[in-house]
């Protein structure tokens, strides 16, 4: 059995072989494998232009979201990189085999601690599209989140199905996560993926969460829940 580092090395440099396409995805989303490892590949060339995300590409934002999840030490985003593939540069992410028996709609409305971590993560990255279908619970019960292309906007656009903790105080662990994230040296890595103004807005969101020490409330200037929510 390959180690995590061996699998990641394969994803970084192995041959990407395409197998199928997710036809109902809004952008080109392809399924393939690299050295026997199932992956998701989203080429930049297959992205639809968005009026409110004119800078950069969605693939880079997915990688930036992965870096934030790792810096928070919550590991809620599957291993995600930018690399070349059959249709050029794109996001490549390790596939998660989910628990098909889980009632995902009921789970998404629960107070599970893993969902709370993801809610804080979404507030940090300013996720504008956290749907129930973007929650991936594997067969061991571990929660991942996917589809982080529309994130890091400089304006407040948080839109999510995870509002269970709105207005509630952050706990000591969450405050430490924010302080550690504020002190981390991610700006150089993020500068290759998102704009300088978006990095500034990210740092301001972290500062605001530290200062208020509560989960954000829905904004009256932006729909609180994505549509459709699933």
How many Cβ atoms sit within 10 Å of the Cβ of residue 129?
17
Q: How confident is the model at residue 226 (pLDDT cuts 50, 70, 90)?
A: very high
Q: How confident is the model at residue 53 (pLDDT cuts 50, 70, 90)?
A: confident
What whole-number percentage of the chain has pLDDT above 90?
87
* pLDDT tens digits for range 130-155: 999 999 999 999 999 999 999 999 99
pLDDT for position 123: 98
Q: How confident is the model at residue 57 (pLDDT cuts 50, 70, 90)?
A: confident
Domains annotated for the chain, with CATH where assigned, are: 4-212 (1.10.510)
Q: What is the 3-state secondary structure (H, E, C) of 47-65?
A: CCCCCCCCCCCHHHHHHHH
The helix or strand, by DSSP H or E, that contains position 38, with its residue range, turns out to be strand 37-43
Model pTM score:
0.96
Task: Check pLDDT > 80 for residue 56.
Answer: no
Task: Check pLDDT > 90 for residue 111.
Answer: yes
């Amino acid at each position: 059995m390959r180690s995590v580092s061996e699998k990641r090395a394969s994803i970084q440099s192995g041959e990407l072989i395409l197998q199928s396409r997710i036809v109902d995805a809004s952008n080109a989303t392809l399924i393939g494998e690299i050295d026997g490892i199932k992956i998701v590949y989203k080429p930049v060339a297959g992205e639809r232009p968005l009026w409110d995300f004119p800078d950069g590409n969605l693939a880079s934002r997915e990688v930036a979201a992965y870096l934030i999840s790792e810096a928070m030490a919550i590991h809620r985003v599957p291993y995600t990189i930018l690399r070349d593939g059959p249709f050029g540069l794109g996001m490549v992410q390790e596939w998660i085999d989910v628990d098909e028996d889980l009632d995902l709609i009921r789970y998404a409305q629960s107070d599970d601690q893993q969902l709370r971590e993801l809610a804080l993560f979404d507030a940090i990255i300013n996720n504008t599209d956290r749907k129930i279908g973007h929650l991936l619970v594997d067969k061991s019960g571990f929660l991942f989140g996917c589809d982080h292309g529309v994130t890091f906007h400089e304006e407040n656009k948080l839109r999510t199905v995870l509002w269970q903790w709105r207005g509630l105080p952050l706990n000591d662990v969450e405050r430490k996560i924010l302080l550690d994230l504020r002190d981390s040296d991610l700006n150089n890595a993020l500068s290759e993926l998102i704009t300088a103004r978006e990095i500034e807005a990210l740092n301001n969101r972290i500062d605001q969460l530290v200062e208020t020490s509560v989960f954000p409330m829905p904004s009256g200037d932006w729909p609180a829940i994505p549509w459709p929510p699933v």
